[in-house]
Amino acid sequence: MTTPPHVSADELKALLGDTLHAEVVTHFTARTGAAPDHVERQVTECLRYLYLVSRHQEQLSGLFLPVEQDIDEIWHYLILQTREYRLLCEERLPGGFFIHHRSIAYEEYQQEPGREQALEEALRWIPLYVREFGPFDEGALPHWTIVRFLHQQMDMSLQEIAALEPLGAA
C-alpha cells in the first residue's frame, strides 16, 4: 500500500498563485512549443525541487540536485519575478528562507566533490521526494536526470526507486 503524498500538485500550484502559475505555463508553452500539460508538469517538478530544498535545508542545502535544464530555466524565470520569488521562498515554502541559485553542469559538479560524493548527494534527495510527493511516476522521469538513469539504464522499476534509502542509512 502506498502512502498518499503529503503535498499535492494543486497545493504546489497554490504556492505560486493562479496568476503567476498561468504566466509561467503560457511563457514556456510559447517559448518551447511544448504542450501546456507538459509545461504544467515541468512547473510542478520545479516547485517540488524548491519545496524539497526549503523543507529539508539541513540535508539538501548546497547540494546539486540533478534536474533537467528545462526545470532550471523555469527556476530562472521565477527568480526574475523578484517580488513573487521572494514571497514564495520566504513566506510560502516551508523553510522560510531565500533559495539562492547557482548554475553548474553535472559533469563539472562531479569534479568538485568527486564522483562518490556526487552520487551520494544525488541519491540523498530521492527518499525525501517520495516522502513528500509520493513515488515517482512516468510523468516525472523526463525531469529528474538520476531517476531516469536508474529507471532506463539501470533497469530499476519505479517501485525500486521509491524504496531507495540514502546511502549509509540502515
pLDDT in tens, 59-112: 887 776 678 889 999 999 999 999 999 999 999 999 999 998 765 554 554 455
The residue whose grid cell reads 530499476 is 156
CA–CA distance, 125 with 120 (Å, rounded to integer): 9
Give yes or no for residue 119 having a pLDDT over 60. Answer: yes
The residue whose grid cell reads 534509502 is 165
Q: Tens of pLDDT along 15-61?
A: 999 999 999 999 999 999 999 999 999 999 999 999 999 999 988 87
Strands (DSSP E) found in 1-155: none
What are the domain boundaries of the chain? 9-162
The whole-number pLDDT of residue 108 equals 54
**Most confident region among 33-42, 108-117, 158-167 by mean pLDDT:** 33-42
Q: With bands split at pLDDT 50, 70 and 90, how would you rate the model's confidence at 170? A: very low
Q: How far is the CA of 70 from the CAs of 41, 56, 154, 158, in angstroms?
A: 11, 23, 24, 22
Give yes or no for residue 1 having a pLDDT over 50. Answer: no
Q: How far is the CA of 52 from the CAs of 16, 28, 116, 130, in angstroms?
A: 15, 23, 22, 10
Which is more confident, 116 or 125?
A: 125
